[in-house]
Amino acid sequence: MTISDLKNKNLLLFEAISGSRAFGLATENSDTDIRGVYYLPKEDFFGLNYIPQISNETNDITYYEIGRFVELLQKNNPNILEILASPEDCIQYRHPLMDLLKTEDFLSKLCKDTFAGYAISQIKKAKGLNKKILNPVDKERKSILDFCCILEGQGSVLLKRWMNEGGLSQENCGLISIDHTKGMYALFYDESGALGYKGVIQNEEANQVSLSSVPKHEKPVAYLFCNLDAYSVYCKDYREYWKWVAERNEDRYNVNQTHGQNYDSKNMMHTIRLLQSCEQIFKTGSLTIRVENRDELLDIKAGNQSYENVMQKAENLIESIEKHYSASSLPEYPDLEKTTKILIKIREKLYGDNDEL
C-alpha cells in the first residue's frame, strides 16, 4: 500500500498541511509537511494485511490508519493531537466522518506527561548539547596515566611530569596496592628491568593500573594515586562526545555555530512552542496550534536569544504548567470507552452499508 494507492482508491479521511506552516512559523526555507488519516480496504482490515501507517521516504508525508490515529489520540500524543487541531486553512480534505473526532474528547491531564514531559527531555538534550559545544573533547584519547599523580610533600605532581623530570620510564615501574586505601599504590623502580615489573600500565588502552610482584626488601621510590573515578567519567564523556560528532547534522550544527549561542536553536524553538501548547491546554481546556508569538519563536530559532534566556523561558513555562495543571478540570485520562465507541461508529459507517451520515 502506497500513498498513491490511498488517493487512487479514495481511502483518505483527512489530509492537512502540518508542521511549521500549520504553526504559523514557516519561513521561505521551510518544507511542506503533510499529515493525514486513512482507512484500509475491507479485505485488508478484516484480513491479515493491517497497515497502521504509510509514509514517503523522507517522512515529510505521513498518513495514519484511523484506528492507529484514535489509539494515539487516546494516549495524548502531541503530534497526533496537533493534526486533529489543524487550522482550517491548512486542511486540504476532511471526510464528514472525521467531524465525530473532537479534540476536547481527548484532552486530559495526561498531556502534562506527553507535551511537557517530552519538552523537558528536549531541554535536557539541549543542556547536553550546550555542554558538548562549550567543552569539546580532544580527539587524541587520554590514557589512565593522565589520571595518576605522585604524592610530594603536602601536594602532588602529575605522574607524567614526575617521570619526565626524573628521566624515568613507566615500563620500569612496579606498583603494589596499599591496604585500606582506594587508588593508592607504592611505586618501585627497576632501571635494569631484571625484576620483571609490569609497568604502571601494560598498554595505552588499559582501563586500570598494573600490579607487580615486588621483592620484600625493595623500597618504594614514591607513592602514586590513581583517580579511577575521574578516568571513568572521562571515558564516558569521550565516547558520548565523539559519537555526537559522528552523528550530528553538520548543516544544523554549522547554523548553530554561526549564531554562536551554543544550543540547537530550531529544536529549542519547538520545545518552547510545545510548552506553550501544554500551558494553553491546562489554562483553557483546548488546543490551538497556530502560535500568537511568531516573532518571538523565530527569534529563538535565529539564535538571537541567549541560551540562559531561552532556558529561563522554559523554566517559567514549566512552573506555569504545574500551577494550571493543579487547577485544571480536565479528566486524568481520556474517556477510552466513549472515544472507542466513536471509532467503532466510524468503522461501521466505512465498512457497513454506506448509508448517508
What would the mean pLDDT of 198-212 be, rounded to a whole number?
93
pLDDT per position as a tens digit, 109-124: 999 999 998 888 877 7
Distance separating alpha carbons of residues 180 and 178, to the nearest angstrom: 7
pLDDT at 254 over 70: no
What would the mean pLDDT of 22-45 be, rounded to a whole number?
94
Q: Which residues have a Cβ under 8 Å from the Cβ of 148 and sit 6 or more positions away?
A: 158, 159, 200, 209, 224, 225, 226, 227
pLDDT at 128 over 70: no
Take residue 208 and report the three cell numbers written for it.
586500570
pLDDT at 255 over 50: no
Q: What confidence score (pLDDT) does residue 262 get?
A: 56
pLDDT at 245 over 80: no
Given pLDDT bands bounded at 50, 70 and 90, which one contains residue 353?
low
pLDDT at 267 over 50: yes
Pick from 24-33, 182-191, 223-232, 342-351: least confident: 24-33
pLDDT at 347 over 90: yes
Q: What confidence score (pLDDT) does residue 134 get?
A: 58
What would the mean pLDDT of 215-235 be, rounded to a whole number?
95
Q: What confidence score (pLDDT) does residue 211 get?
A: 96
pLDDT at 326 over 80: yes
Q: What confidence score (pLDDT) does residue 320 get?
A: 97
User: What average pLDDT does the structure give for the chain?
Assistant: 90
Take residue 143 and report the three cell numbers written for it.
590514557
pLDDT at 16 over 80: yes
Q: What confidence score (pLDDT) does residue 357 get?
A: 41
Distance in angstroms between the alpha carbons of the first and the last residue of the chain? 28
Take residue 285 and report the three cell numbers written for it.
481546556
Q: What confidence score (pLDDT) does residue 356 get?
A: 47
The CA dihedral of 256, 257, 263, 267, to the nearest 10 degrees, is 10
pLDDT at 129 over 90: no
Domains contained in the chain, CATH given: 1-106+334-357 (3.30.460), 107-136+249-331 (no CATH), 144-229 (no CATH)
Q: Which amino acid is at 34?
A: I
Percentage of the chain beyond pLDDT 90 is 74
